[in-house]
Every structure is written in structure tokens, then in C-alpha cells.
Amino acid sequence: MAAGFWELLPQVTVDGLMLGFVYAMVAIGYTMVYGVLEFINFAHSEIFMVGAFLGAEFFLVLSKGGLLAGMPHLLVLLLGLIIAMLLTGLLGMGIERVAYRPLRGAPRLVPLIAAIGVSFVLQDVARAIATAIHGNFVTGVPSLFPGQAVALPGGLSLSVKALLLVASSILMMGALTAFVQRSRAGKAMRAVAQDPTTAGLMGINTDGVITLTFFVGAAMGGAAGTLFAVQYTAVDPYIGFTLGIKAFTAAVFGGIGRLPGAMVGGILLGLFESYGTAFLGTATGGALGAEYKDVLAFALLILILIFKPSGLLGQQVAEKV
């Protein structure tokens, strides 16, 4: 048993990291919007799904046109990411303008219900479009980097597309962190997140900052969807539901409203899920199987929130009196 554990551990860890980076990129969208508006955009999971479909359709168009075989796949992936990020970013801006901005002064439950409604609308629209194009709402993704792998120490191998998923996620999260911390727009975001009224009095265009926040968060979700489509080679209108819940859990796990918390929470949740899938049955003598991996992840979340309600990297906010 112990020998088998150590043999599987490296590959299980790699699988968990791949999944964790996807969770982290989606969690960033949740945490950015919450940090500025203290509002959970539950439609963000469907923005991830739209990004996956956009990437898949782009790769399919190239494949049917005979261009996929003749183009460097790294360039194809880069173009797919750019297109998905741009279009999902614009979608996020449109959702904010149409569905959320008119409700900004309403009780918090109202925009939450609107977000759930937008989520269902995006699911049904994606299903209708995919069915009209392909005759089936499940869309297969052409394989990029087929059979290509990188040898790692210890006899472990990692597919090129998995390596690119991790590398792309790290680069984009690093670039986003630098943008928020060092750019003028990032400073405006942090000012609006801290006190929107005072930020407005200081000359900051709060509506513009909120729109930019939705654009950036949705673009990260779209990029995560495209990378997911490349890695798992099939997408459907409902892939965002469960993954979105887990990404939101990751954001809370790490500390909702904090970018480092979303990143750490996503990676840890991916590792917990991967370890649960591989080892839970063995650890419990068969009493609990891999199907209980989600229970393990959420149980760990509950424990974290019991002992540190602000999340792993969250800061306790003093109550104003």
C-alpha cells in the first residue's frame, strides 16, 4: 500500500496542480468582483463555459479549414486565448452594464438573483447555438500537441498541453497581480474596493473601474475555459456549474476578495480533489470511494471557516461602530 502510494503521488500531484490552476483562474473572477462590489457574480461560472466554447470553436474552424495542421500549435493556443479573453471580457462588461448596474443600490439579494438568472440564460443560449451548429450541445475539441510529452525527474512524464496550462496560468496570474499592484488602473481598483464613495470624491470614475474589473475578471475566466477545453477536449453548456461552485469555494477557502487567496485556494482545492480521487478509497479501506472527493474538499473548507472565517489569507475586518 505504501509503495503504491509513493508511486502514484507524483502523478496525482501533477494532476491536482493542473486542476487547481483552472480553479484559481476562475476564482480570481469571483474575488475581483467581490473585492470591489462585495457581490458574488454567480454568472462567472458560465463566462468560463463561454470561454471554453469560444476556444473550442476557434480550434474547430482552423481544423476544418485545414489550417490547424500547418500552424504552430503554440501560436494557435495563443490566438485562441486572446480571442476568448477579449470576447468574454466584453461579455462580462455587457452583463455588468445590463444586469447589475441598474440594481447597484438594491438590496444584496436582488443582484444575486439577477446573477443566477444570467447564468441560466447563458447556459441555454450556449446550448441552442451549439446544437444549431453541431446538432449536439456537446462539442469536441481538436487535439493540440497530440502525444507530445515532457520527461520529468523520477520517470514522470507530463503532456505538453498540461505543462502549457500550468505555465499559462502562472504567467496570467502573475501579470494580473502586477497590473493590480503597480498600474494606475489597478490602484484605482484598490481605491474603489476600499471606499467607493471617497474614491469618487477624489476624481476616480467608479463606474469605469467597476466595468474594468468585470472585463478583467471575465477575461481570466475565458482564458481558464479555453485552457480547460484544450486539456479535456470536450465542452458542454453545463461544465461551468460544478466547476464554478468549486472555484467559488476556492475563493472563500483562500480569502474572498484577495487575489493571492484565490490563487492559493484554487491550487489547494485542486490538490485535495486529486488526492481524494486517488487515495480516499485506499485510506478508508474501501468505505469511501473516489466519488466522495468533493465531500473531502468541502469538509476541509468548513474546518478552515470554523477556525479562520476570513479564509487562509483573508484579513479580519474590524466592525465599525
Residue 217 has a pLDDT of 92
How confident is the prediction for the chain on average, in pLDDT? 85
Model confidence at 85, pLDDT cuts 50, 70, 90, reads very high
pLDDT of 64 higher than 90: no
pLDDT of 319 higher than 80: no
**Measured torsion, CA atoms of residues 297, 290, 20, 79, in degrees rounded to the nearest 10:** -140
Residue 223 has a pLDDT of 94
Residue 316 has a pLDDT of 57
Look at residue 314 and tell me if it is in a domain.
Answer: no
Look at residue 5 and tell me if it is in a domain.
Answer: no
Mean pLDDT for the stretch of residues 144-150: 75
Mean pLDDT for the stretch of residues 35-60: 91
Residue where the block lists cell 463561454? 50
Q: Out of 29-43, 142-156, 293-307, pick the least confident.
A: 142-156
User: Residues 219, 89: contact at Cβ < 8 Å?
Assistant: yes
Choice between 104 and 69, residue whose per-residue pLDDT is larger: 104
- What is 96-129 written as a DSSP string? IIIIIGGGTTS-THHHHHHHHHHHHHHHHHHHHH
Using one digit for the tens of pLDDT, what is the confidence trace for 14-27?
A: 888 888 999 999 99
Residue 2 has a pLDDT of 53
Domain with 250 in it: what CATH number? 1.10.3470
Mean pLDDT for the stretch of residues 143-152: 74
Look at residue 313 and tell me if it is in a domain.
Answer: no
Look at residue 318 and tell me if it is in a domain.
Answer: no
Residue 153 has a pLDDT of 67
Assigned C-alpha cell, 165: 496550462
Please tell me the total count of domains within the chain: 1
Choice between 215 and 9, residue whose per-residue pLDDT is larger: 215
Look at residue 1 and tell me if it is in a domain.
Answer: no
CA nearest 145: which of 57, 69, 56, 81?
69
Structural domain including 257 reads 15-307
Q: Out of 45-54, 100-109, 216-225, 274-283, pick the least confident.
A: 274-283
- Does residue 286 come out as left (phi exceeding 0), alpha (psi in the -120 to 50 range) or beta? left
Model confidence at 5, pLDDT cuts 50, 70, 90, reads low
Rounded-to-integer distance, Cα 176 and Cα 186, Å: 9
Look at residue 321 and tell me if it is in a domain.
Answer: no
- Chain centroid offset of residue 158 CA: 22
Residue 160 has a pLDDT of 83
Model confidence at 35, pLDDT cuts 50, 70, 90, reads confident
Look at residue 319 and tell me if it is in a domain.
Answer: no
Residue 55 has a pLDDT of 92
Using one digit for the tens of pLDDT, what is the confidence trace for 107-125?
A: 888 998 999 999 999 999 9
Using one digit for the tens of pLDDT, what is the confidence trace for 247-300?
A: 988 888 888 888 888 899 999 988 888 888 777 777 666 667 677 777 777 787
Residue 4 has a pLDDT of 59
Look at residue 7 and tell me if it is in a domain.
Answer: no
